[in-house]
Amino acid sequence: MNPFLETEQIMTRRRFFGLAGTGVATAALASLLNPELFAARNREPVRNAIGGLQDLPHYTPKAKRVIYLFQSGGPAQMDLYDPKPDLIRRYNEEVPKSVYPDDRKTTMTSGQTRFPVAPSRFKFNQCGQSGIELSETLPALSRMADDICVIRSMHTEAINHDPAATFFQTGSVVPGRPSMGSWLNYGLGSENGDLPSFVALTSGSGGQPLYDRLWGNGFLPGRFQGVKFRGQGDPILDLYNPGGVSSGMRRRMLDSVSRLNEMQYRKSGAPEIQTRIAQYELAYRMQSSVPELIDFSKEPKEQVDIYGPTVRRTGSYAYNCLLARRLAERGVRFIQLFHRGWDHHGSLPKRMAALTNATDRPTAALLRDLKQRGMLDDTLVVWGGEFGRTVYCQGKLTEKTYGRDHHPNCFSMWLAGAGVRGGLTYGATDDYSVNVVENGVHVHDMQATILHLLGINHELLTYRHQGRYYRLTDVFGKVVNDILT
């Protein structure tokens, strides 16, 4: 049972059982067990005991959970996953207008007089047995190459961070729709009674801002939203008792609240009171389950160390990677890390090196750690940002440095783990990494594929809002079967 889902259904059930003596129970139970009789038009469908929808999953899932490493800002594909070695010969040449027309450039660069080719300064290596080509900035990941599936043919619609990130998370550039984790929460419920089933973790600073809507519930009921774990203070807001309140005192207070609420329930009959009583108990359980979760002291030191030197700094990317594994172990369904800092309009080589230096090792360590525990078989790991970057230089191009603007037409992501073909490079872009030329994967396709791996037909996970049935993938999306085992 999940603390973030209302327990009303269970409570209702219990009260029906309580009615057994009256002979009414049969009729009542029949209606409970048959959702068609029960579910009125416009109401939420009946939920099963762990809070998921009754007809989900639609088929046997390959992934039990997802760890999504969201790289906010738009990582440059041609410096990480999409090598274009021939471009070195075209250094400082104009990118042909036939390849990159003017009409969809952001106003940060559309006024430039020149659009010169900026070849990547990074070398690429063929990695693993599969020979996936990865940038030299990713040495740790290179050693896990055979476990990842690189998609070079991602494309999106939005050209600015906010709409593009919102699009990835909710399937729409306009705010107000539920985020992916929130849909999963609604559809699949939870496997852990003491922790939320959708957790957001943030790291990095100074880059593109993040927004609560990225893990928001949109039009779904509020209990489905992601819970943000914090890097400072209480890991979950207001988790700890105030100074001077001992845990014994809190227990006493809670017992009292529970008794008084029960009295009120007997008087008013309102079922919400029973729900509230249960939620207070769950809050109390979280007060001990969360501190246990973030306490790394029982982990073997070597195991912690593989995540790199910053793993012990609360709120760092490495810390969040280890925390993600611990959340996954405890049955949390959707764990999403958001790391800021990939928006490299200028000084890209230097900033890219610094960023990959901080994130490459923890990312690879997470994969390795999951694999060692046998968890990579049923955990889907996703790495990617909201869009790619331009091949033409933003600002001044020199031998040593360059910048890149936003680019929605193509970018790279990778998937690993449950149900994904490791060691595969999928899709291709043109000679300039401007447009997709083979096996394009749209954002909605990626969303459909993630849901598919969790056993969900993305066309059937819907929610009625304002008289319309909405879904994560709007009216689009097709599963990318080619990359699945």
Partner 1 sequence: MLCWQNNLSGVLAVIVASFAGCISVSAVDFVRDIKPVFSDTCFKCHGPDGKAREAKLRFDRREHVVGESAPDGLIVPGQPDQSELIKRLSASDPGDRMPPPETGLKVDAEAIAKIRQWITEGAKWPEDDRHWAFVPPESPEVPAINLRTARFNQIDHFVQAKLQEKGLNPSAQANRATWLRRVSYDLTGLPPTVDELEEFLEDVSANAFENVVDRLLKSERYGEHMGLSWLEAARYADTDGYQNDRLRYQWVWRDWVFRALNDNMPFDQFTLEQLAGDMLPNRNFYTQVASGFNRNHRINSEGGSIPDEWIVEYVADRVETVGTVYLGLTFNCSRCHDHKYDPIKQKEFYQMFAFFNNVDEAGLGPNNGNSPPFIKVPKSWPQLSDAETNYIEPTKPKVRIQQTSVPRPQPGKPDTVMVMSELAKPRETYILNRGLYNQPDKSQQLRPETPESLGILPESVPRNRIGLAKWLLDPKNPLVARVTVNRFWQHFFGRGLVRTSENFGIQGELPSHPELLDWLALKFIDIDWDMKAFQRMIVLSATYRQASEASRKMIQRDPENVLLTRGPRKRLTPYQIRDTALFTSGLLVEKIGGPSVKPYMPAGLWKSISNRKYDQGKGDDLYRRSIYTYWMRTIPPPTMMVFNAAEREVCSVRKELTTTPLQALTMMNNITFVESARFIAERVVREGGENAGQRLDYLCQLLLARKPTRPERIQLMQDYKSHISEFRKDRKAAAALLAIGSRKRDAKLVANEVAAWTMLANTILNLDESITTN
Looking only at residues 182 through 221 of this chain, which bind partner 1 when binding is defined by CB under 8 A? 202, 205-206, 208-213, 216, 221
Residue 481 as a binder of partner 1 (CB under 8 A): the answer is no
Instruction: Tell me: does residue 282 bind partner 1 (CB under 8 A).
Output: yes
Q: Of the ranges 119-127, 272-280, 360-368, 435-443, which one interacts with partner 1 (CB under 8 A)? A: 272-280
Q: Exactly one of 129, 466, 481, 485 binds partner 1 (CB under 8 A); which one?
A: 466
List the structure tokens of 34.
């048959």
**Least Cβ distance, residue 388 to partner 1 (angstroms):** 14
Conformation bin of residue 465: beta by default, left when phi > 0, alpha when psi is -120 to 50: beta
Count of alpha carbons within 13 angstroms of residue 323, beta-carbon side? 31
400 binding partner 1? (CB under 8 A): no
Site for partner 1 in 446-465 (CB under 8 A): 459-460, 462
Q: How many residues bind partner 1 (CB under 8 A)?
A: 105
Which of residues 340 and 344 has its CB atom nearest to partner 1 in the complex? 340
Query: Which H/E stretch holds residue 70?
Result: strand 65-72
The whole-angstrom distance between residue 414's C-alpha and the CA centroid of its chain comes to 13
Query: CB 329: neighbour CB atoms within 10 A?
Result: 15
The yes or no reply on residue 401 touching partner 1 (CB under 8 A) is no
By CB under 8 A, is residue 21 in contact with partner 1?
no
Separation between Cα atoms, residue 321 and residue 326, nearest integer Å = 9
Tokens for 376, please give them: 């990579």
User: Which residue from 14, 114, 123, 259 is in contact with partner 1, where contact means CB under 8 A?
Assistant: 259
Binding to partner 1, residues 105-134 (CB under 8 A): 106-112
**Contact in structure between 383 and 359 (CB atoms under 8 Å):** no
Does the footprint of partner 1 cover residue 469 (CB under 8 A)?
yes
Q: Which of 118, 134, 184, 227 binds partner 1 (CB under 8 A)?
A: 227
Please identify which residue in 33, 88, 260, 354 interacts with partner 1, judged by CB under 8 A: 260
Residue showing tokens 């020149």: 114
Is 23 a binder of partner 1 (CB under 8 A)? yes
Residue in 91, 280, 296, 476 binding partner 1, rule: CB under 8 A? 280
Q: Which of 21, 41, 98, 399 binds partner 1 (CB under 8 A)?
A: 41
Packing angle between helix 348-372 and helix 317-329, nearest 10 degrees?
20
Q: Does 405 bind partner 1 (CB under 8 A)?
A: yes
Cα angle value 352/446/355 (rounded, 5°): 10
46 binds partner 1 (CB under 8 A): no
Cβ proximity to partner 1: between 146 and 459 the closer is 459
Check binding of 269 to partner 1 (CB under 8 A): yes
CA-atom Rg of the chain in angstroms:
25
Q: Which is nearer to partner 1, 90 or 228 (CB)?
A: 228
The DSSP code sequence of 435-460 is SEEES-EEHHHHHHHHHHHTT--TTT
Nearest Cα neighbor of 451 from 200, 187, 190 is 187
Residue 87 contacts by C-beta under 8 Å, 6 or more apart in sequence? 78, 117, 119, 120, 391, 431, 432
- Give dist(CA 81, CA 149) in Å, integer: 11
Asked whether 422 and 376 are in contact (CB, 8 A), the reply is no
> Which listed range, 18-26, 361-369, 376-384, 419-427, lies at the site for partner 1 (CB under 8 A)?
18-26
Tell me if 86 contacts partner 1 by CB under 8 A: no
Judging by beta carbons within 10 Å of its beta carbon (0-12, 13-18, 19+), is residue 174 exposed, middle or buried? Answer: exposed
Q: Which of 86, 272, 305, 431 binds partner 1 (CB under 8 A)?
A: 272
HSE-up (13 A, CA, CB side) for residue 112: 20
Q: Is 468 in the site for partner 1 (CB under 8 A)?
A: yes
Q: Is 423 in the site for partner 1 (CB under 8 A)?
A: no
Binding letters toward partner 1, positions 129-168, x by CB under 8 A: ------------------------------xxxxx-----
Q: Does 20 bind partner 1 (CB under 8 A)?
A: no
Kindly tell me which of 2 and 137 has the beta carbon lying closer to partner 1.
Answer: 2
Q: Is the dihedral of CA 373, 297, 314, 348 positive or negative?
A: negative
- Residues 185 and 106: their CA atoms lie apart, in Å, by 36
Nearest C-alpha neighbor of 200 from the set 377, 379, 324: 324
Q: Where in 335-354 is the site for partner 1 (CB under 8 A)?
A: 338, 340
- Collapsing DSSP to helix, strand or coil, 426 comes out as strand
Binding to partner 1 in span 309-338, by CB under 8 A? 315, 338
**Binding status of residue 243 toward partner 1 by CB under 8 A:** yes
Distance in Å, CB of 458 to partner 1, minimum: 10
The Cα–Cα gap between 305 and 311 comes to 7
Closer CB to partner 1, 46 or 375, in the complex: 46
Regarding 103 and contact with partner 1 (CB under 8 A), the answer is yes
Q: Which is nearer to partner 1, 90 or 471 (CB)?
A: 471
Interface pick for partner 1 out of 88, 126, 240, 295 (rule CB under 8 A)? 240
